[in-house]
Amino acid sequence: MSNQEENLIDVNHGTQLHKMHGDQKVLEQELENVFGRSWLFLTHESIIPNHGDYVVTKMGTDEVIVSRQENGDVKAFLNVCRHRGAQLCPHEAGNAKGFVCSYHGWGYGNTGELQAVPFDKEVYGGLLDKCKNSLHEVAKVENYNGFIYGCFDENSPSFSDYLGDLKWFLDPYFEHSGGLELIGPPARCLIKANWKCSAENFVGDAYHVGWTHASALRTGESVFTPLAGNSTPPTEGLGLQITSKFGSGLGVLWDAYAGIHDSSLINDMMQWATIKEQQLAEKIGADRARIYRSHLNTTIFPNNSFLTGSGVFKTWQPIDKDTTEVFTWTMVEKDMPEELKQRIAMSVQRTFGVAGYWESDDNDNMESETYMTKGFQARNKNLNAQMGIGNDVYNGKYPGVVCESAIGETSYRGYYRAYSAFINANSWHEIEDKSSNWADILTNAKTK
């Protein structure tokens, strides 16, 4: 392991070298150690409900086919023919019993097994071992309340253990609400930004909302409009910042379920959420029912981000050090009226779609962060994520390392502590070892 990766993150003081947003060697290490060992979002069960349904998606820079099996299970495979490495499936989604390579005609079942090879007996003499030439399968695939995640590393913990403390905050919305679904296909676009710029923003940055989105807030009349132009200073009791052992984190804005949506949706969404909160309080308690009705900005480490209530669900897929492909779905509750689902979907596209006005605001900043790493001096200077440092607690009222403030960078520090553990480890055993005292490290962090 080079000193370059070792020195990227100063975990004890909440700083990071700017070069992490614009260095190709760092990206290569990320693809091996971060994307190669993390749980990554693949698809939602509502998108591939039937036997043979499939989607082609990304795990880091690798294309994978995610396919529903005859027994109802889901498998994922590299979208690469085992013969000469050509792309196997050129389509984004569909239903198929199998896949045939357009180069030489090797055919695979949707189980990944190699089933047909042209002139097998004539040109291979019957010696080709089809079992040894099945598609490369993603080692682990798990379903979290309908959301399907995969991991290349067979030694990784379960997805539930990977989420850790964050699960306590997510389950009220993902499980106890009655379940969620994604409305697709996803909107897709390329931005000239490093993938981490967006992931870190969603993991815990409420600080930028009033400033970056001032115009959008004044125009859209959302529940966040009072923040426009930083005209209203943050006060105690507005929310929380939370991080977990393996870097997933979120921010809570209390009682702000309707999130980014404008006045045409606020009343209907808040009425919906208030009724369900009352139902959930009897089932999971008042504290967690309130979590459901609040607004959570979240990143599941490393690159899956979403806004509950707002219904924005994204992955940030690296193309190179300064290019990211953004996938955006709308996330809604299954038992919502269809008319409400469609109104939310339209609002998500207006705000966080390819040409969304919130999305455009954010992308300007993400691209600016990345562009500035082209400066030799700039890329070797530290970035500061020290907001709220010294106020983080563990074993308090809530799970995880928590700061009881709506605006802070607790989740940033937790994200990059885990990032440092991943990028500097050669196995899951090493990641676990580097994370054994993760909470102590974060709660004892201090400015220089």
Question: Is the backbone peptide bond immediately before 302 cis, with ω within 30 degrees of 0?
Answer: yes
pLDDT 10s digits, 45-85: 999 999 999 999 999 999 999 999 999 999 999 999 999 99
CA atoms within 13 A of residue 267's CA, in its CB half-sphere:
2
Q: Cα–Cα distances in Å, from 43 out to 94, 99, 141, 424?
A: 13, 19, 11, 29
Same structural domain for residues 104 and 182?
Answer: no
Q: What is the CATH number of the domain that holds 89?
A: 2.102.10.10
pLDDT surpasses 50 at 137:
yes
Block residue for tokens 């050509």: 86
Q: Are 332 and 236 in contact (CB under 8 A)?
A: no
Ramachandran quadrant class, 422 (left: phi over 0; alpha: psi -120 to 50; beta: rest) = alpha
Same domain? 225 vs 311? yes
Q: Do 342 and 390 sit in the same domain of this protein?
A: yes
Q: Do both 203 and 295 map to the same domain?
A: yes
Residue 222 located in a structural domain? yes
Number of domains into which the chain is organized: 2
pLDDT, position 164:
97
Catalytic residue among 73, 91, 161, 208: 208
- What is the reported pLDDT for 1? 45
Q: What is the pLDDT of residues 361-407, one digit of tens each?
A: 999 999 999 999 999 999 999 999 999 999 999 988 899 999 999 89
Q: Which residues contact 28 (CB under 8 A, 6 or more apart)?
A: none
Give the ranges where 294-402 is alpha helix by DSSP (H): 338-352, 357-371, 376-379
92-114 tens-digit pLDDT: 999 999 999 999 999 999 999 99
Residues 186 and 113 in one domain: no
pLDDT at residue 264 in the model = 85
What span, in angstroms and rounded, lies between the C-alpha atoms of 308 and 260?
A: 10
Any residues with CB less than 8 A from the CB of 83 and at least 6 apart, and which?
101, 103, 104, 106, 133
With a cut of 80, say whether residue 233 has pLDDT above it.
no
* Residue 157 domain-assigned (yes or no): no
Active site residue 261: no
The predicted pLDDT at position 306 comes to: 98
CATH number of the domain where residue 426 is located: 3.90.380.10
In this structure, are 302 and 437 located in the same domain?
Answer: yes
| 8: in domain | no
> Is there a domain that residue 322 lies in?
yes
16 occurs within a structural domain: no
Indicate whether 95 and 171 sit together in one domain. Answer: no
Q: Which domain holds residue 268?
A: 164-444
Q: Is residue 2 part of a domain?
A: no
Strands (E), 291-416: 295-300, 304-307, 312-320, 323-333, 382-384, 401-403
- Shared domain check, 238 and 136: no
Do 128 and 194 fall into the same domain? no
Q: Which of 23, 53, 262, 362 is catalytic?
A: 362
Residue 220 has pLDDT above 80, yes or no: no
Of residues 165, 205, 322, 361, which has the active-site annotation? Answer: 205
Domain contains 155? no
* Residue matched to tokens 């399968």: 137
Residues 329 and 293 in one domain: yes
Residue 5: which pLDDT band, with cuts at 50, 70 and 90?
Answer: low
Q: Does residue 185 have a cis peptide bond before it, meaning omega lies within 30 degrees of 0?
A: yes
* 296 & 377 share domain: yes
Q: What does DSSP assign to residue 44?
A: E
Q: Which of 104, 364, 429, 433 is catalytic?
A: 104
Q: Kindly state whether residues 261 and 347 are assigned to the same domain.
A: yes
Q: Which of 21, 44, 176, 213 is catalytic?
A: 213
Q: What value does the mean pLDDT take over residues 302-311?
A: 96
Kindly give, in sequence order, each residue whose CB lies less than 8 Å from that of residue 112, ignoring residues fewer than 6 positions away.
Answer: 75, 77, 134, 135, 137
How many CB atoms lie under 10 A from the CB of residue 113?
Answer: 14
- The H or E element containing residue 423 is helix 410-423
Look up the pTM and report it: 0.95
Q: Is 187 part of any domain?
A: yes
Dihedral sign of CA atoms 298, 304, 305, 308 in order: negative
176 is catalytic: no
Q: How many CB atoms lie within 10 A of CB 313?
A: 27
Asked whether 99 and 112 are in contact (CB, 8 A), the reply is: no
Cite the DSSP H helix spans in 92-213.
120-124, 159-163, 166-174, 195-204, 209-212
CA distances from 98 to 16, 50, 58, 108, 140 (A): 46, 14, 19, 5, 21
The domain boundary residue, chosen from 91, 108, 141: 141
Single out the residue in 107, 126, 141 at which a domain terminates: 141
Q: Any catalytic annotation for residue 208? A: yes
pLDDT tier for residue 338 given thresholds of 50, 70 and 90:
very high
pLDDT of 2 above 80: no
Q: How far is CA 332 from CA 45, 179, 202, 208, 368, in A?
A: 14, 9, 19, 25, 32
Residue 213 annotated among the catalytic residues of the structure:
yes
